[in-house]
Amino acid sequence: FPEAGQAGSLPPFMLMKALAELSKPCIAAVRGACIGVANTLLLHFDFVYADHSATFQMPFVSLGLSPEGAASLLLAQRAGYHQAAEILFTAKKYDANIALRAGILNQIVDNPYQYATVQARHLASLPIASLKAVKKLMKHNLDQILKCIDDEAEIVMQRAQSAEMIEAVSALIQKRKPDFFPFNVSSTSI
């Protein structure tokens, strides 16, 4: 595990920061399951298309972890506090319709890969300098996003060593429901 203040320099967090800093438009297409970090990465794309088969989940809390990649910031900005809280706190799976309402998706389409390709070709026909200028203007809070990625990375690394995380992994291996009650009772801080 990295020293305090260094978690943001680990490869997964560097990937998220690189994606956040990308100056050109980014497009993603989703079919099937999009869970955990894959779901978080979508928050950094400019265009996200999915079909009705897509399912999403941010299971961090159910694993004794916390969100990463500025998910706490970006999801709350897009979905509003209450919907973000429901997605992040409950750690439940949700469908493409909820992802669309939460601002994670641009659109639900029959063939997201084909639709994303058409959109990419259209963007490629436009002046790249203009696209980059508009994206830079829209991401005026990039420093805040990068700081949030670093802050969340620190908490994720702390939580990765927690008793709750160990219980969640043990329960998964033993094919049983995790029992967080002993940790919840011993935790007196609010």
Q: Please report, in angstroms and rounded to a whole number, the separation of the first and last CA atoms in the chain.
A: 27
Q: What is the pTM of this model?
A: 0.91
For residue 70, which of 91, 97, 41 has the smallest C-alpha distance? 41
Q: What digits encode the pLDDT tens for the residues 65-119?
A: 999 999 999 999 999 999 999 999 999 999 999 999 999 999 999 999 999 999 9
* Residue 18: partners with Cβ closer than 8 Å, 6 or more residues away: none
168 three-class SS: helix
* Residue 55: partners with Cβ closer than 8 Å, 6 or more residues away: 32, 33, 34, 35, 93, 94, 95, 96
Provide mean pLDDT across the span 162-188.
89
Amino acid (1-letter code) at residue 27: I
* Residue 24: partners with Cβ closer than 8 Å, 6 or more residues away: 128, 131, 132, 135
Provide mean pLDDT across the span 24-53.
98
Under a CB-based contact definition with an 8 Å cutoff, are residues 40 and 48 in contact?
no
Q: What digits encode the pLDDT tens for the residues 119-172?
A: 999 999 999 999 999 999 999 999 999 999 999 999 999 999 999 999 999 999
Q: In whole angstroms, what is the distance from residue 185 CA to residue 152 CA?
A: 25
For residue 7, which of 142, 151, 148, 147 has the smallest C-alpha distance? 151
Q: Is the pLDDT of residue 52 over 80?
A: yes
- Bridging pattern class, strands 94-95 and 55-57: antiparallel
Q: In what order do the strands lie in the sheet with 94-95?
A: 33-35, 55-57, 94-95
